[in-house]
A and B are shown apart, each in its own frame.
Chain A
Amino acid sequence: MAAAIHSNSAAEASKGPQQPLTLYTTQTPNGIKISIALEELEIPYKVFKHDFVARTQKEPWYLAINPNGRIPAITDTFSDGSQIHLWESGSILKYLVEQYDKDFKLWYPAGTRENYELFSWLFFQIGGLGPMQGQMTHFNRHVTEKIPYAIERYSNETRRLYSVLEKQLATSQSGFILSKFTIVDICFWSMVAASGWAGVSLAEFPEIHRWYEKVLSRPSVAKGMNVPEPHPIQVLMDDKTGQKAKEFEEYSRSWVMTGMAKDAEGLKKRDPAC
């Protein structure tokens, strides 16, 4: 026992002072994927909360961490003491399980068929359902002048993608997307938690609805979804007066639309600071 403790602290000492992992985030579907995974794996972390209205995610210090100017990103100390900055929610999740999940709580052993298949689903979320639901939200919520074709295009595609997930859940023995709870559930769940906001009704997808509740009952999810502040979606959807929804829509519209205008400006003239 004593020897184990001793060798542990020797290993710690050789790493230098151990900094907790930092998560750069704000209350969004892509951000909570990471806080939920960190809670599941019980990894200590600090949170830096971005302010999209003030556009802190486009400040030079942050672009040095994530040149794409989006959240989430992390800074972590690797076992040799060096620091790593990583972004893209999918790649952060892969990093976290490979570094910290030696018991395969949220993935499968590297090199196994199950694990390769896991990544088909993970890429499907980050390259398919994520971006398409994002476009649906944009044309439903942010654009003031409604464009019926764009709304229809992205509603249809998002609902098609939900139906792929619905079918997978219907055939699953575990009640989760794969044979057990994994980072794939975390990825999809974080998007599905915003489905009402995008304009997708879970009444259309009973299997997803059942799975959504099952995942929500995990303590780590209940905790991680409220980082760095309470998850607005449920509050919004339960708000019968529609006042909160209106406020939230105005808030997100304002940062998205000024952001787009600023980005377009920046494209014409390269920012002299970069």
Chain B
Amino acid sequence: MPLKAIDLWGHWGAPNPWKVCIVLEELGIPYNIQSVEFSEVKQEAFLMINPNGRLPAIKDPNTGITLWESGAIIQYLVDQYDRDERVSYNSFPEKYFTQQWLAFQISGQGPYFGQATWFARFHPEKIPSAIDRYVNEVIRVIGVLDKAIETNNTGWLVGDKCTYADLSFVTWTSVAEGLLRELNKLDGLETRYPRYTEWLTKMEERESVKKIRERMARGRAEHGLPP
């Protein structure tokens, strides 16, 4: 039986919902994006879907489940729909390593990259110590990824293929690239973090990543938001 389309509550420019779309694309799962504005996410209608009032959330009519938090959604999607391990592993220890890197994305990359863009871009008053704190953290996280790719020695974070763990970082690294360029901090990054740079280049060649990066960039451009 063909799969029914998954409903995804998303947003034209937000990295966390687009992250889930990359995994949906990779697995060939049909989906509909329900676009929500940030002004709506803390209203009762959306709080019924996600008590935390944030994007993304999904409803899967094939199973009837509603889920929120991009990490939990991605784990659900590969669990249900990636039985042939296209972007995941069932073997030990790879299964646990992919989960570990996803947790690092959710806990170590997303929140801090988000704070960096807030203080460097959006907050009206420039607070240098806060900007430095979070921009340094962005670069530190890039360093952790570079080192891990070097250690694993396959070009990927886990095993010898591109998994959801790698893919989960891409929408935020796109935002980071734009931000670091604005702050004149992009120069030299390629030579300092060559494996990170190669890793991103390889991911950006994938159809799923190309397509979603383009849609996110277009959404942001249309709303006057930098990449």
**Shortest CB–CB separation between residue B128 and chain A, in angstroms?**
10
Interface members, chain B 46-80 (any A CB < 8 Å)? 51-54, 63-65, 67-72, 75-76, 79
The 8 A CB mask of A82-96 against B (1 = contact, 0 = none) is 101011111100110
Q: Check if A132 is an interface residue, CB within 8 A of chain B.
A: yes
Give chain A interface residues in 111-168, CB to chain B under 8 Å.
111, 113, 116-117, 119-120, 122-124, 126-128, 130-132, 135, 143, 145, 147, 149-150, 161, 164, 167-168
Q: How far is the CB of A229 from the nearest CB of chain B, in Å? A: 25
Question: Any chain B CB within 8 A of the CB of A274?
Answer: yes
Q: Are A127 and B79 in contact (CB under 8 A)?
A: no
Binds B, one of A5-13, A203-211, A231-239, A260-268: A260-268
Q: Is B104 interfacial (CB-CB < 8 Å)? A: yes
Rounded to whole Å, the gap between the CB of A101 and the closest CB of chain B is: 15
Nearest CB in chain A to that of B42: its residue: A160
Whether A127 contacts B75 by the Cβ 8 Å rule is no
Is A80 at the interface (CB under 8 A from chain B)? yes
A239 to chain B, nearest CB (A): 29
> Would A90 and B127 count as touching, CB distance under 8 A?
no
The smallest beta-carbon distance between A23 and chain B, in angstroms, is 15
For B57, the closest partner residue in chain A by CB is: A120
> With contacts A90-B103, A111-B79 known, is A127 near B96, CB below 8 A?
no
Given A86-B100, A264-B132, A270-B192, A149-B127 contact (CB < 8 Å): yes
CB of A67 closer than 8 Å to a CB of B: yes
| A78 interfacial contact with B, CB 8 Å | yes
Check if B123 sits within 8 Å of A119, measured CB to CB.
no
Known: A91-B100, A117-B67. A264 touches B127 (CB 8 A): no
Given A78-B93, A164-B52: A119 touches B104 (CB 8 Å cut-off)? no
- A167 with B65: CB separation less than 8 A: no
By the criterion CB–CB under 8 Å, are A130 and B76 in contact?
no
Q: How far is the CA of A89 from the CA of B103 in the complex (A)?
A: 8
- A172 sits at the interface (CB 8 A): no
- Please tell me which one of the listed residues B93, B123, B125, B136 contacts residue A82 in the complex, with CB atoms under 8 A apart: B93
Asked whether any CB of chain A lies closer than 8 Å to the CB of B140, the reply is yes
CA distance A80 to B91 in the complex (A): 12
Q: Are B129 and A116 in contact (CB under 8 A)?
A: no
Shortest CB–CB separation between residue B162 and chain A, in angstroms? 19
Contact A274 to B147, CB < 8 A, known contacts A91-B96, A263-B136: yes
Say yes or no: A88 contacts B107, CB within 8 Å: yes
Q: B76 to chain A: which residues have CB within 8 Å?
A: 116, 119
User: A127, B130: Cβ atoms under 8 Å?
Assistant: no
Min CB distance A127 to B, Å, is 4
A124 touches B69 (CB 8 A): yes
Give the residue among A127, A128, A147 with the most B Cβ atoms within 10 A. Answer: A127
Task: Name A147's contact: one of B96, B103, B130 (CB within 8 Å).
Answer: B130
Give B77-93 interface residues, CB cut-off 8 Å to A.
79, 92-93
Could you tell me the distance between the alpha carbons of A127 and B79 in the complex, rounded to whole angstroms?
21
**Shortest distance in angstroms between B202's beta carbon and chain A's nearest beta carbon?**
20
**Residue of B64, B103, B111 most packed against chain A (CB within 10 A):** B103
A86–B123 CA distance with the chains assembled, in angstroms: 37
Q: Which of A67, A94, A130 contacts B107 (CB 8 A)?
A: A130
Contact B79 A147 (CB under 8 A): no
Query: A267: which of B53, B64, B107, B143 is its contact (CB, 8 Å)?
Result: B143
Q: B113-137: which residues lie under 8 A (CB-CB) from chain A?
A: 115, 123, 125, 127, 129-130, 132-133, 136
Let me know if B106 and A135 touch, CB within 8 A: no
A132 touches B111 (CB 8 A): yes
Check if A88 sits within 8 Å of B100, measured CB to CB.
Answer: yes
User: With a CB–CB cut-off of 8 A, which chain B residues contact A132?
Assistant: 111
Q: How far is the CA of A94 from the CA of B79 in the complex (A)?
A: 14
Question: Would you list 11 pairs from A and B whose C-beta atoms are within 8 A, ordered by A residue?
Answer: A68-B108, A68-B144, A69-B144, A78-B93, A87-B100, A89-B103, A119-B75, A119-B76, A122-B72, A124-B52, A131-B107
Known: A67-B151, A116-B75, A127-B107. 18 other contacts (CB 8 A): A69-B144, A80-B92, A82-B92, A86-B96, A90-B107, A94-B96, A113-B64, A116-B65, A119-B75, A120-B68, A120-B72, A123-B69, A123-B70, A127-B110, A135-B115, A149-B127, A161-B52, A270-B192
